[in-house]
């Protein structure tokens, strides 16, 4: 008999940026643990294709998607109208949607760096606030924010990205303390280079890839499923006494010395 602490049966999870990469891997991981999944992503065609695939893979679970750009306030509001109108008993929120434009600090146009903060930080904060009354209806709910090692140390991803992720990590700590009495745990994960469409361009350079691997004790690029496993753990009842934490999924990158 499977210990229910390691299952998510009957729980509904909202995953933003859920149509590809880490978000899709998180969806598969949570579905495999028995959860129902609501997906939000910008591209309606990609989202529809993913929804169809997941329905075939997990026929016993409820899987629904809504095309939504979480950086747009009206679309965030529409997302939660959709959730409430559908009567979905939300228990898990994964803020995975993110964006970046990597360049030197002096080379950003104002609208570029503001757009990074809007998606990576402001949208996550607002989505947490929209989700709070839904999550607090249940005795044990969870939020997991997908941060980055860029928010913990200098990485060549650009200052706005690193600053937005650092703020997301601090938001995680603040909400964990503020909302613990409401039965909501709030944690984060901080990935290093993960094999996704977004990282493919940078890692296509042999020289750059070798630099990355040289700074990674485990000597390889991470997989989306490895981030998803950490996220899933933080959602499980087994992690019921864990809140305010940021787990690095980085192959040892942050612990590398000289």
**What amino acid positions are annotated as catalytic residues?**
161
**CA angle 16-17-19, nearest 5°?**
120
222 Cβ neighbours under 8 A, 6+ residues apart: 191, 192, 193, 194, 195, 249, 250, 251
CA distances from 120 to 57, 91, 97, 100, 211 (A): 30, 22, 7, 9, 26
Q: Is the dihedral of CA 217, 223, 225, 228 positive or negative?
A: positive
Q: 116 in the Ramachandran plot: left (φ > 0), alpha (ψ -120 to 50) or beta?
A: alpha
Instruction: Give the span between the Cα atoms of 138 and 89, in whole angstroms.
Output: 9
Secondary structure of 123-157 as H, E, C letters: HHHHHHHHHHHHHCCCCCEEEEEECCHHHCCCCCC
């Amino acid at each position: 008999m499977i210990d229910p602490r390691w299952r998510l049966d009957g729980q509904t999870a909202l995953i933003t940026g859920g149509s590809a990469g880490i978000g899709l891997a998180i969806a598969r991981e949570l579905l495999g643990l028995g959860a129902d999944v609501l997906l939000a992503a910008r591209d309606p065609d990609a989202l529809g294709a993913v929804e169809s695939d997941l329905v075939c893979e997990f026929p016993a679970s409820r899987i629904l998607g809504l095309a939504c750009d979480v950086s747009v306030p009206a679309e965030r509001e529409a997302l939660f109208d959709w959730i409430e109108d559908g009567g979905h008993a939300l228990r898990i929120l994964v803020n995975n949607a993110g964006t970046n434009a990597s360049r030197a600090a002096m080379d950003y146009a104002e609208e570029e760096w503001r757009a990074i903060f809007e998606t990576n930080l402001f949208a996550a904060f607002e989505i947490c606030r929209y989700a709070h009354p839904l999550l607090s209806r249940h005795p044990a709910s969870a939020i997991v924010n997908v941060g980055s090692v860029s928010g913990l140390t200098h990485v060549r991803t650009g200052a706005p990205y690193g600053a937005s992720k650092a703020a997301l990590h601090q938001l995680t700590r603040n909400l964990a303390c503020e909302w613990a009495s409401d039965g909501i745990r709030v944690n984060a994960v901080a990935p290093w280079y993960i094999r996704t469409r977004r990282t493919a361009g940078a890692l296509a350079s042999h020289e750059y890839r070798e630099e990355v691997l040289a700074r990674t004790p485990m000597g390889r690029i991470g997989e989306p499923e490895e981030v998803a496993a950490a996220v899933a753990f933080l959602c499980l009842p087994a992690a019921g006494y864990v809140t305010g934490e940021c787990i690095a999924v980085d192959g040892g990158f942050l612990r590398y010395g000289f």
